[in-house]
Amino acid sequence: MAVFLSLNHYDLLSSPRWVGLANYRYLFNVDPQVWTAVRNTLWLIAILVPLQVVFALGIAMMLARARRGVGALRTIFYLPALAPPVAATLGFVYILNPATGPVNSLLGHLGITGPLWFQDPAWAKPSLVLLGLWGIGNTMVIFLAAVLEVPQHLYESAEIDGADWFQRLRWVTLPSISPVILFAVVLGVIQALQYFTQAYVAANIASGQASQAADVTASSLGYPQDSTLFYPVLLYQHGFTDYQMGYASALSVLLLVVSFAVTLVIVLNSRRWVHHAAGAVR
Amino acid sequence: MTAVGATAPFVRRRLPAHVRRKRLLLAIANHSVLIASAIAFLAPFAFIVLTALMTNEQALSSRLWPEPFAWHNFVDVFREAPVWRWALNTLEYSVLATLGLLLSSIPVAYALARIRFRGSNVMFMIVLVALMLPPQVSVVPLYVMWSKVHLVGTLWPVIIPNWFGDAFSIFLLRQFFLTIPEEYLDAARVDGLGELRVLTNVVVRLAKPAIAAVALFSFLYTFNDFFLPLLYTGENPHHWPLQIGLAQFRSLHQVQWNLTMAATLLVMAPVIVVFFLAQKAFVEGVTLTGVKG
C-alpha cells in the first residue's frame, strides 16, 4: 500500500495520479532536506545510541558493586525513564533555557557562560543527548540483571590468573553480557530511527512559536536551522502538514528499507562479538 | 547468587590490611560516583518542582528557591487550559484501547502458544515483523484510510487498531502462556471443557500477572503516546489527549514557565504514582520482555 502510494501524486483531496518514480527521483536528487534529515538521524545512531548504552552499562556496573542503598539508587536511576517524553522534553527545554534556566544560572555562578542549548544549531542535538541519557532507566535495569548473573567463579579464576580490573571487564563481564548489549543496541537503533516526539516538542517550545490551534505544526519543525530535523520529522512535515501523501510514502518506503538493512547489518555483524556459550546470560 | 560464599566448606582467611584498605577506598569511590550521579538524575525533577511553585517574576529571575511558595499555580493551570477535557480524552483512549487490546490479544496469544495449526509459525513471524516495523512506515496508508471513513480529527484511529490485537502484547502473553504446564490444560479438557472455556477458566486465571503487566504497559503507552494522536487530532483541540495539550500548553496561551512546569508535573504524576503502586507487575513485565528469554 505504501509502495503503491509512493508511485503516485496524492494530496487526499483529488484522487491519486500515477507519476512512476518521480517521487523517488525528487527524494534522491532534488530535496535538500532529505540529506539533512538523514545526516541528523545518522548522528543519533552514531552518538546518542552508543552513549546511552555505555552510560547505562556504567551505572549498572557501579550499582552491581554497591553494598548499600542499591534499591533506592536503582529507583532513582529508573524514575526518569517513566516520565512521559513530552513532559521530560518540556522540563529540559526549561532547565536548559539560556536566559533564566537553572543550569545556565548555576554555570554563571561558577563564572562559566553556558551555551544556548536548544537555541543553538550546534548545541540542540547535544541537548537532546542529555535528555536521552536522563532516560536510560530501562536499559540500565536490564544491564543490572545481566551483570548480576555473571557467574562469580569466572571473576575468581580471572583474579587468580592475575587479571586486573580492566582485563576482568574486557574478558569476563563484557563477553558474558554481550547478548544483552546486542539487544540494547538493536533496540536503541530502532528507536533512533523513529525519534520524533522529543525533537518535535523541543523545536516547538524552543522556537517559542505562537502557533494557533488550527495550525499547531509547520514552521517550527527542525528548529533551530533544521538541526533537529530528523527523518521522521521530515516525513511528518511532508505527509501531515503539507499532505503530500505520495511523497511521504516514498520517504516511508526508504525508511523501511534502511531500518531493515541496519538491523540486519548489526545482527549479522554481532556473530563476531556476541558470545553464546552455555551458561552465558540467556 | 550468594551460594558461592555461603556453601563453601572453608572459612576465608582475613585479607591483608593493605588489600582491605584498597577495597574500602574503592567502595567509597564507587558510592561517591553513584550518589553524585543520583543527584544529577534527581536535579531535573527538583528544578521542575521548584519552578512550578514560583511566581512568574521569580521563574524569570535566576533565583532557584521559590519565595513565597505559589501553590495556587496548580489551580491556575486548570483555569488557563482545558486540562480536564484533555485528561478525559486520555482516559477514553487508555481505557478503550487497553480493554480492546486484552480481549483481542489474549485469544491470539493462546492460539499461537498452544494450538498447532497450519501456518501457526508463519503467523508468529508476522507478529514479530509487526513488532519491528517503525510506525512511520505504515502511517501514510493508514491515515488515508481513516480520512476516507472521516475519522481523522477523533481519537478512534488510535483506539480501534488495538481491538485487533497488538504485536507486543501478543508476543509477551505468548511467552507467558508457553510456561503454563500442558497437563493443567489437558486436565481441563478431560473434564469436558472446550478450548474457549480452557482459555477463560484456566489460562486467564493462571496468567494474571502477565495480563496485569500487559495492561500496565498499555496504560503507560497510551498515556505517553504522542505521534499518532498528534497526527489524527492535531487540528481538533476538542479531542486532544493530555500529551498534545501539554506540548501546546505554553505556546497556545502564551503562559509563563511556572505554570508550564506545574502542568508538566501534573502530567508526570499519574505515571509515577502508578509505578509505585504497581512495582511488582512492572518487574514481572520487564523480565517477561525477554531478558531471560
Tens-binned pLDDT, residue by residue, of chain A (282 aa): 777 788 888 877 777 888 878 888 888 888 888 999 999 999 999 999 999 999 999 999 999 988 888 889 999 999 999 999 999 999 999 899 887 788 888 888 888 888 888 888 889 999 999 999 999 998 998 899 899 988 888 888 888 888 888 888 888 889 889 888 988 998 899 889 999 999 999 988 888 744 444 344 456 888 888 888 999 999 999 888 888 888 999 999 898 888 888 878 887 877 777 776 544 443
Residue-wise pLDDT for B209-224, tens only, equals 889 889 998 999 999 9
Q: CA B58, CA A107: separation in Å to the nearest integer?
A: 18
Contact A90 B260 (CB under 8 A): yes
What is the spatial distance between Cα B124 and Cα A49, in angstroms, rounded to a whole number?
Answer: 29
- Closest chain B residue by Cα to residue A141: B286
Instruction: Write the DSSP symbol of residue B288.
Output: I
Contact residues on chain A for B55, CB-CB shorter than 8 A = none
* Sign of the alpha-carbon dihedral angle for A10, A12, A16, A17: negative
Task: Mark which residues 22-41 of B lie under 8 Å from A by CB.
Answer: 27, 30-31, 33-35, 37-38, 41
Q: Percentage of chain B surpassing pLDDT 70?
A: 90
Is the predicted pLDDT of residue B285 greater than 70, yes or no? no
How many angstroms separate the CA atoms of B132 and B275, rounded?
26
How do residues B26-79 score in pLDDT, each as one tens digit?
Answer: 889 889 999 999 999 999 999 999 988 988 878 777 777 888 888 888 888 888
Q: Are B169 and B217 in contact (CB under 8 A)?
A: yes
**Amino acid type, B249:** F
Q: Does A108 touch chain B (CB under 8 A)?
A: yes
Phi, psi of A212 (to 5 degrees): -90, 160
d(CA A143, CA B8): 28
CB B226 within 8 A of CB A204: no
**Residue B265 has what pLDDT?**
93
Residues 149-188 of A with CB under 8 A from B: 149, 152-153, 180, 183
- Matching residue, cell 503507552: B221
Chain B contact present for A100, CB below 8 A: yes
Sign of CA dihedral B41, B44, B47, B52: negative
Q: In the prediction, which pLDDT does B6 show? A: 47
Inform me whether the C-beta atom of residue A95 falls under 8 Å from chain B C-beta atoms. Answer: yes
Q: Is A216 at the interface with chain B, CB within 8 A?
A: yes
Interface test with A, best of B136, B236, B238, B259 (most A CBs within 10 A): B136
What is the pLDDT, as a whole number, of residue A213?
40
**In whole angstroms, what is the distance from residue A264 CA to residue A270 CA?**
10
Chain A nearest-CA distance from B264, in A, is 5
- B1 and chain A in contact, CB less than 8 A: yes
**Contact criterion met (CB < 8 Å) for A239 and B246:** no
Beta-carbon separation of B250 and A65 below 8 A = no
Side chain identity at residue B60, one-letter code? L
**Model pTM?**
0.85
CB–CB of B73/B264 below 8 Å? no
For residue B226, pLDDT over 50 is answered with: yes
Q: Which residue of A has its CA nearest to B261?
A: A91
- Binary contact (B38, A102; C-beta < 8 A): no
CB atoms within 10 A of CB A276: 9
Q: Shortest CB distance from A152 goes to which of B4, B51, B271?
A: B4
Residue A67, chain B, CB below 8 Å: the answer is yes
Q: CB of A107 within 8 A of CB of A113? A: yes
The DSSP secondary-structure symbol of B160 reads G
Q: What is the 3-state secondary structure (H, E, C) of chain A?
A: CHHHHHCEECCCCCCCEECCCHHHHHHHHHCHHHHHHHHHHHHHHHHHHHHHHHHHHHHHHHHHHCCCCHHHHHHHHHHHHHCCHHHHHHHHHHHCCCCCCHHHHHHHHCCCCCCCHHHCHHHHHHHHHHHHHHCCHHHHHHHHHHHHCCCHHHHHHHHHCCCCHHHHHHHHHHHHHHHHHHHHHHHHHHHHHCCCHHHHHHHHHHCCCCCECCECCHHHCCCCCCCCCCHHHHHHHHHHHCCCHHHHHHHHHHHHHHHHHHHHHHHHHHCCCCCCCCCCCC
For domain B82-254, the question of CATH label 1.10.3720.10 is answered with yes
- Which has more confidence, B291 or A91? A91
- Give the confidence band of B253 by pLDDT, cuts at 50, 70, 90: low
Residue A23: its chain B contacts at CB < 8 A? none
Strand partners, B162: none
Task: Quote the pLDDT of residue B12.
Answer: 64
Shortest CA distance from B254: residue in chain A: A210
pLDDT score of B157 more than 60: yes
> Which residues 209-248 of chain B have a CB within 8 Å of chain A?
220, 223-224, 226-227, 230-231, 234-235, 237, 243, 246-248
Amino acid at B157: P
Phi, psi of A196 (to 5 degrees): -140, -60
3-state SS class at B154: strand
Residues 146-185 of B with CB under 8 A from A: 147
Distance CA A85, CA B225 (A): 9
3-class secondary-structure state, position B54: coil
Task: In whole angstroms, give the CA distance from residue B108 to residue B123.
Answer: 10
**Among candidate residues B178, B179, B193, the one with its CA nearest the CA of residue B116:** B178
